[in-house]
Amino acid sequence: MMLLKDLGFDVEQAESGPRALAILESGPTDIVLTDVRMPGMNGLELLGAIKERYPQTAVVIMTGYGTIPSAVEAIKLGAYDYITKPFAVEEFRQVFKRLVEMQELTRENHLLREQLKTRQGFANIIGTSGKMQKIYRLILKAAAKRHHVLILGESGTGKELVARAIHAQSPWANQPFVPVDCGALAPTLIESELFGHVRGAFTGANQTRQGLLAAAGGGTLFLDEIAELPVELQAKLLRALQEREIKPIGSNERVRLEARIIAATNQNVEDAIKRGAVRKDLYFRLNVVSLKMPPLRERKSDIPALVHYFIDHFGGEEGRIAGISYEAMTRLMNYNWPGNVRELENAIQRAMVLGAGPLIQVKDLPSNLLYPMTAPAEGPEILALEELERRAILQALEATGGDRLRAAKLLGIGKTTIYRKIKQYGLAKDVALGETA
Ligand SMILES: Nc1ncnc2c1ncn2[C@@H]1O[C@H](COP(=O)(O)OP(=O)(O)OP(=O)(O)O)[C@@H](O)[C@H]1O
Ligand SMILES: [Mg+2]
């Protein structure tokens, strides 16, 4: 026991076979070291039970002098190794050292296998470019810890996908993942949505309701478009995070906050802080770990894999469209993708509906890809991009007769984003706005 502790193991002692099984039941255990001769359940029976129920757990058997036959039987039954008593410290150390090395290797292999499941990326995230590899490493790192995470990146770059991957790779994956779009909730409702309320807390509160922060349990609350959260609520959220307690509206009692927060925004946070849209203290709180999703135009080598993935994905049963022509792929590679992966996804989906097949042709692609607007050769890059964005939105609004929802869909951006951009670029004066449904 002491020896194992000295070797750096976290040791628990059991006085019998059944007791050992109870410990195994209560949490993952790497190694079991057991005697053969024990009252009740003997060591070989225990070994059999462990191999059946916890195949990942390695078993090392201790045998007294003269019981070598049972040691041999133990190996046959799946024991990792045996140690004869009285044992030399060095032998003991060697056995455990080898065992730990082997287990680490198995674990690494397992992880690699998981990652390579798609051979094209990580989990259901497509892309093998260097920038995405970096993201996969960050996902794994973030998944292992319970720190809050902030995901930055332009619209459509896959922020939500990454948030889900962090949750799915974490030890808390069996707990809920609760997404909240802060931009889509009415400001009057959002406090009660997040924090919950008690019956009678305000007019219309006919029933006590658990908020989403509590509903996420020990899992993940994904706060999308965090910059859209009203500033007062950002303060309340910060307090909840600091105190790890949630105060439902109208309640004096507090509920423990167990969830990990993953927040996302497609805005430039520094600007948002300057404008007063994001509280600096909340930003620092959430920014313990941060990931910045690369825009698609900075990882164009991933476009072919993404295109084929979407063709498979939307192919469905009939599989009328089997691929894409070389010319069409060239257009996709030459385009700038302001709406990032979402815009690409929409373009492929649309082409699959419109195209006659079997290959997606240039004529099946959205018209803005066919006549790509080129940025002026000179002048600061940032201005050119903004101008491109303004024009793309204007074009989409014109094409949809000012229907903001459909325009947003065409561009591959969210509803809140297009509202904000229309305001930012003052487009309301250029087109008559409206929307379906
Ligand atoms: N690397 C990727 N591989 C496969 N699909 C992707 C990838 N990145 C994004 N997508 C797909 O593109 C769409 C947009 O992704 P997501 O919603 O995660 O983006 P976002 O950054 O949250 O966008 P927004 O800021 O507009 O909310 C989704 O349908 C998602 O499945
Ligand atoms: Mg999103």
C-alpha of residue 79 to centroid of ligand 1, in Å: 47
Phi, psi of 34 (to 5 degrees): -135, 150
Find, among 144, 141, 139, the residue nearest to 123 by Cα: 139
Mean pLDDT of 402-419: 87
Which atom of ligand 1 is closest in space to residue 162's alpha carbon? 18
Alpha-carbon gap, residue 308 to 328, rounded angstroms: 13
Where residue 307 falls among pLDDT bands split at 50, 70, 90? very high
Question: 220-241: per-residue pLDDT in tens?
Answer: 999 999 999 999 999 999 999 9
Phi, psi of 365 (to 5 degrees): -85, 155
Find, among 338, 345, 266, the residue nearest to 303 by Cα: 345
Asked whether 245 and 257 are in contact (CB, 8 A), the reply is yes
Phi, psi of 180 (to 5 degrees): -130, 125
Percent of the chain with pLDDT over 70: 90
Q: How much is the pLDDT for 297?
A: 95
Where residue 109 falls among pLDDT bands split at 50, 70, 90? low
Asked whether 394 and 358 are in contact (CB, 8 A), the reply is no
C-alpha of residue 150 to centroid of ligand 2, in Å: 13
Q: Average pLDDT over the chain, rounded to whole?
A: 85
Alpha-carbon gap, residue 429 to 406, rounded angstroms: 19
Q: How much is the pLDDT for 119?
A: 46
**232 exposure class (CB count in 10 Å sphere: 0-12, 13-18, 19+):** exposed
Residue position matching structure tokens 């995470």: 149
* Domain boundaries along the sequence of the chain: 2-113, 121-294, 299-429
- Fold matches, 121-294 and 299-429: no
With a 6 Å cutoff on the Cβ, whether 43 touches ligand 1 is no
Which atom of ligand 1 is closest in space to residue 345's alpha carbon? 12
The domain 121-294 belongs to what CATH superfamily?
A: P-loop containing nucleotide triphosphate hydrolases (3.40.50.300)
Alpha-carbon gap, residue 343 to 340, rounded angstroms: 5
Question: 164-201: per-residue pLDDT in tens?
Answer: 999 998 888 889 999 999 988 887 788 899 999 988 88
More confident residue, 248 or 203: 248
Nearest CA to ligand 1 atom 31: 161
**319 exposure class (CB count in 10 Å sphere: 0-12, 13-18, 19+):** exposed
Where residue 327 falls among pLDDT bands split at 50, 70, 90? confident
Amino acid at 300: K
Q: How much is the pLDDT for 105?
A: 66
CB atoms within 10 A of CB 431: 19
Alpha-carbon gap, residue 381 to 50, rounded angstroms: 63
Where residue 118 falls among pLDDT bands split at 50, 70, 90? very low
If residue 205 lies in a helix (H) or strand (E), which one and from where to where? none
Alpha-carbon gap, residue 184 to 190, rounded angstroms: 9
C-alpha of residue 81 to centroid of ligand 2, in Å: 51
Question: 78-91: per-residue pLDDT in tens?
Answer: 888 888 877 778 88
Asked whether 90 and 82 are in contact (CB, 8 A), the reply is no
Pick from 341, 344, 411 the residue to mutate for probing ligand 1's pocket: most ligand atoms within 8 Å of its CB.
Answer: 341
With a 6 Å cutoff on the Cβ, whether 266 touches ligand 1 is yes
Mean pLDDT of 69-83: 80
CATH topology for 299-429?
A: Helicase, Ruva Protein; domain 3 (1.10.8)
CATH topology for 2-113?
A: Rossmann fold (3.40.50)
CB atoms within 10 A of CB 335: 21
Q: What angle do CA 65, 67, 73 make, to 5 degrees?
A: 145
Q: How much is the pLDDT for 344?
A: 97
